[in-house]
Each structure stands twice: as C-alpha cells, then as structure tokens.
Chain A
Amino acid sequence: MAVPAEYYLVLSAGLFCVGLFGILTRRNALIFLMSVELMLNAANINLVAFSFQWGNLTGQVFSLFTMALAAAEVAVGIGIILVLYRNFEDLDVTKATTMRW
C-alpha cells in the first residue's frame, strides 16, 4: 500500500473543488456541464480508492453506475442546452433570467 488513503481524499476533494470553482465562475452552459462531470469523478476517485481500502468491490461497481448516470445526465443536459440556445440564442446561463424573485 504505497499511497495512504488520506491522499486520495485530498485528491478527490481537490477535484471536487475544481469542479465547483468551474460552476461558480464560468457562464457557459457546456463548461458548467463539464464541471459537474469533474465533481462526479471526484466521487468516483473516492469510491474506487476506498473500495480497495475496505477490500470490497461495492465502491468500484458503484463508480461504474455513477459514470453511466453521468453520461445520461449529459445527454439530457445537452438537450436542454440545445433548446436554451434556440430560445435565448446564447449559451450563457446567466442570460436566462425571465423569472426571478
């Protein structure tokens, strides 16, 4: 066991934060989507790493599910982003503000 488990936690946390940072700072819907993918993968790192740590495969299997769902999410997301572009002629998520308060 070369790398202590805590390091994976730090790595995944870092990745999670990068994703979060992307969400908070970027306005492009596609980049928003990518950032979410980063965050999901941060979870995957944990799951895979600790699956090994605890000696069961549950985590690894679950990470496969997560990836599949991430893909599905992207599919739905792209669809929504498409209609967004059609209606607002922009991919900027901050432009769609017809409803507020």
Chain B
Amino acid sequence: MIPLQSADVLPQWTALAPALALATTALVLFVIDSIDPDSMDSGLLAGVSTIGALASAGISGWFLVAGTGMSRTGGAIELFGGQLVVDGMALFFMFVFASVLALVTVASYDYLEGQPHQAEYYSLMLLATTGMALMASANSLATAFVSLELASLPSFALVAFLKNNRGSVEAGLKYFLIGALSSSVFVYGISLVYAATGRLQLAAIADVIASGEALDPGVLGVGILMIVGGVAYKTASVPFHFWAPEAYEGAPAPVSGFLSSASKAAGFVLAFRIFTVAFPLDVITGVAVDWGVAFTALAVLTMTLGNFAAATQDTVKRMLAYSSIGHAGYALIGLAVLSGAADQSFALGASMMHLLVYGFMNTGAFLFVALAEYWGVGRTFEDYNGLATQAPIACTAMTVFLFSLAGLPIGGGFWSKYFLLVAATGASAWLLAAALIVNSALSLFYYSRVVKAMWIEEPDGSFEVSSYPTGLYAAVITAGVMTFLLLVGFGPVSATATDAAAMLF
C-alpha cells in the first residue's frame, strides 16, 4: 500500500489534518461570532461545528483506512522534530473525539435554544477537541502538558457555561480547582522526570533510562507517579476523580457527555503513549517503579468505587457520572495488565476499543438525559417512569446505550467489555477479572433501574412530551445506531485498534 503521506500524494503535515480541521473550525466560529456577536442563530453555529467535527472524523477515518502512520505504510509520522506524532492510535482517538464532538454539537443545537454566547460555546468545544486531538499525538511531555491544558481550560468554561445555574457554576468551580491542582501535580511530575533524565521527548526519556544515565530512581519514581496522577485526573480515576460526579452532574448534559467520553479518552491516549513509550515496562521495572501495579490498584479502586457509588444514586445523570468513573476503571485494565499480558497489543487495543464504543454509548446516554432535561422531565429515576410510552424510539436508543454499557450484546459495549475481560484473563490478572465481574453485576443492576423506570413502571402523568427536537433526536438515534452497528461490525474496529496498539511495542 502506498502511504498517503508520501511525497507524491500528500505532504507530511497533512497527517495532522483532523486536528487542523478542528482548530480551523474553531477559528471560523470566532470569525462568525465577531461578525455578528449577538447572533442567536444556533443553526449556523451548530452546523459549522458539526461540519468541522464530521470533517475531522471523516479525515481521521479515511487516514485510518488508508493506513496513515501505521506500520504497514512506513510507521508513525513524526512532526515538528518529534514533538508530535501521528500514528494509528492518534488517528483512532482523533476519530473518537471528533465523532463525540459531532454528536454533541448536533444535540446542542436544541439544547442551547435561546441561550446567549452560543458561538463561544461551540468554539470552546472545538478548541477543547483540538487539545484532545493534540494530546493523542503528543510525543513529548511538553506538548502533552500544553495540549492537556488546551483541552482542560475550555472544558472548565464549558462546564460553567450556564452561568446563572448554581449547579453548573459549582460544577465548574470544582472541576477547575481539582483540575488546577491536578495539572500542577502533573507538571511537577514532568519536572521531576526532567530532573532525573534531562529529556522531555518520550522516546528519549526511555533511552536515557535504559542507558542508566538517569539520576536518582526516587526522583524519577515520584515523577512517574505524579504523572500517573495527572492522567488519573484527566481520565477521572481514583483518587483524582472527585471532580467528576459534580462536573458531569452540574454541567449541561451535552457537555457532560462530551467530557465523560472524549475528555476521558484523551486522558487515556496520553497515558497509553507516555507509559508505553517513555516508561516501557521492560525498561522501567526494577529501575524506578512498576506502574503496572499502580494502574492495577487504580483500576480496581476506580471501577469498584464508580460502580458501587452509582448503584445507589437517585438521579440518572449522577448515576451516569459515577458509571463513567467505573468505565475509566475498566479502560485502565488495558494498561494494568500490560506487564503480564500474553498479547500486549491486544490488551491495549481492548482498552482503545472500549473507549471508542464508550464514546458512542456514553455520549448517547448523556444526550438522552439532555433530551429529558429539554422536555423538563425531572432528574431522578422515578421521574423517568413510563417515559417509553411517550418516546419509545428515544427510549429504545437509551436502552441500547444502557445495556451496551452493561456489556450485553445489544451494542458494541459487549465486545469491548468482554475483550477487556479476555485481556485480564490472558494476563492472569485474576484480581482485575474478579473486580470486573463483581462490578459488572452491580452495573447491570443500576443500568437496568433506568430501563425499568422507562419501560416497566407506569407513567405518573406528570409530564407530557410536547415536541421532538430534531437535533437531540438525531444525535441520540445516531449514537444508538452506531452503538448497535458496532456490535455487528466490530471486526474493523478490533483490527484497527490492535494494529494501532501494536505500534507502541
């Protein structure tokens, strides 16, 4: 296969096109806003954002199919002196971010009806996604930190977007404070690693450590653990998860979906790359710290805390927030089992697949909540009683999301969850497997509570669904169809993710 980014076809920098598309769209939105600052024309803004997002998703998908940056076309494309890298994993995650963004922007069209500052909303979202896309291709701790902040700072503002809503503001505050603290921990960790190795580029760090030139292993070790903390914050893993329940609950529901799917995935892609490239297990173990053990502990704690806390929630959105923490725990399995895995690329690939599927099903679930909020349905489980009698199609989609989240074969979540279990079994990580089983049982319980409310309980007649917002419906149904299609057509996803992951080893 001829590499797409070879001299004859496209210049090298075009490999970053998915990220560039997002950045450009953000700028276009600024231009639109500056032309007509008081515009409430959400159609234009949402349309432009969606086009940008779809373009980005399309390009990354095209590149993935064409094999850009994959080993079969000549390997990863390094840009800017190796500060950024575009490979299969980067493109895979760019596709995830852009798809989630597209869903969210479409849904926001209805959700933001009548809200001021829509242009800011969409451009912040685009910028955050740009940051995430860069996180996916960050190849140095410096670009990692910068792109992480680029993703984070707009997110803070997005969470607090409903500035007259106490919940939204409180969520923004907590997210911001914990985020600031975590990023200072992260950057301090980077500084310690730099202190120990004198390098910021990922591969170079590994070389220094491997050559034995690194300074005190303690400094390096503390640095690595603090970087663990940094990514744990971004992925909403224990003990850096505290912001998540409030941020997801308080934020506008499309933002919650966006953050809990895309932002989390961004944290993971960063972690995958940093830990497999800068601190490969065969190099780091014995020198400083076996981060596999750390991630095992975090994975078990995260999934357990997330699921157990979700089990007894009263409001659907907060339940989804905690479940999102639980899923972070699942995705961490990919990292945690690397040390013992029989097939490392499959283990990491399983996490990647999970994040992709999660992008659709979790965003879909939050968007359904957005739909409910749009209708003025209450927040608690009881408020959802009998919703299916009024909105059967949306409720069917929500059922698909929930059961897919629970790992039933009605959506792609089935494959990714069981692939993670396969990975855990393959690495003989019995603790992780057992934790996954227990938590999965619990998750089945609380997800089905929503299904029960929607389908089984009688409606109490307290609300009437009056309108069917096109944008929200389109987004929810698209997510539902995608989730379902991923069940049937999981083959390419699985193959791509495994191939992409294989490049890191």
Contact = CB atoms under 8 A, between A and B. Distances in A.
Direct A/B contact, Cβ within 8 angstroms: yes
Contact of A80 (B164, B173, B219, B309): B173
B167 interface: yes
A44 B166 contact: no
Interface string B167-200: 1011111101100110111011011101100111
A19 B185 CA distance: 11
B184 A62 contact: no
B173 A36 contact: no
B181 A36 contact: yes
Given A36-B184, A58-B142, A72-B149, A43 B191 contact: yes
B163 interface: yes
B250 interface: yes
Most chain B CB inside 10 Å of its own CB: which residue of A5, A29, A54: A54
Contacts of A5: 195, 215
B432 to A, nearest CB: 27
Interface stretch (B62-70, B152-160, B273-281, B495-503): B152-160
B246 A81 contact: no
Interface string A47-87: 10111011110110110011001001100110111011011
B442 to A, nearest CB: 17
B157 A83 contact: no
Interface residues of A, number: 51
Nearest to A56: B198
A96 B156 contact: no
A47 B191 contact: yes
Interface string A23-48: 10000010011001001101111110
A5 B192 CA distance: 12
B145 interface: yes
B110 interface: no
B169 A96 contact: yes
Most chain A CB inside 10 Å of its own CB: which residue of B194, B199, B309: B194
Interface string B224-252: 00000000000000000000011001100
B187 A40 contact: yes
Contacts of B191: 12, 42-47, 50, 59
Chain B contact residues (Cβ within 8 angstroms of A): what range?
Answer: 35 or more
Contacts, number: 142
Contacts of A36: 180-181, 184
B172 A65 contact: no
B4 interface: no
A9 B219 contact: yes
A54 B149 contact: no
A99 interface: yes
**Interface residues of B: mostly helix, strand, loop or mixed?**
helix
B25 to A, nearest CB: 21
B210 interface: no
A77 B142 contact: no
Given A58-B199, A83-B163, A99-B246, A43 B184 contact: yes
A84 B172 CA distance: 9
B200 A66 contact: no
A52 to B, nearest CB: 10
A11 to B, nearest CB: 12
A21 interface: no
A18 interface: no
B48 interface: no
Contacts of A59: 191, 194, 198, 200
Interface in B137-158: 141-142, 145-146, 149, 153, 156-157
Contacts of A33: 180
B184 A50 contact: no
Most chain B CB inside 10 Å of its own CB: which residue of A40, A44, A73: A73
Contact of A96 (B173, B181, B249): B173
Contact of A43 (B170, B187, B200): B187
Contacts of B309: 101
A86 B163 contact: yes
Nearest to B156: A76
A87 B176 contact: no
B173 A98 contact: no
Q: 10 shortest A-B CB distances, which residue pairs?
A: A54-B198, A46-B191, A39-B184, A43-B191, A96-B170, A50-B195, A36-B180, A43-B188, A83-B163, A43-B187
Interface of A: 5, 9, 12, 16, 19, 23, 29, 32-33, 36, 39-40, 42-47, 49-51, 53-56, 58-59, 61-62, 65-66, 69, 72-73, 76-77, 79-81, 83-84, 86-88, 93, 96-101
Interface of B: 141-142, 145-146, 149, 153, 156-157, 160, 163-167, 169-174, 176-177, 180-181, 183-185, 187-188, 190-192, 194-195, 198-200, 215, 219, 245-246, 249-250, 309, 318
Given A49-B195, A59-B191, A69-B145, 15 more contacts: A32-B177, A46-B192, A46-B195, A53-B195, A54-B199, A55-B198, A58-B200, A61-B142, A62-B190, A77-B180, A93-B177, A96-B174, A98-B170, A99-B246, A99-B318
10 contacts: A5-B215, A40-B183, A51-B194, A58-B194, A59-B194, A66-B145, A69-B145, A86-B169, A88-B170, A96-B174
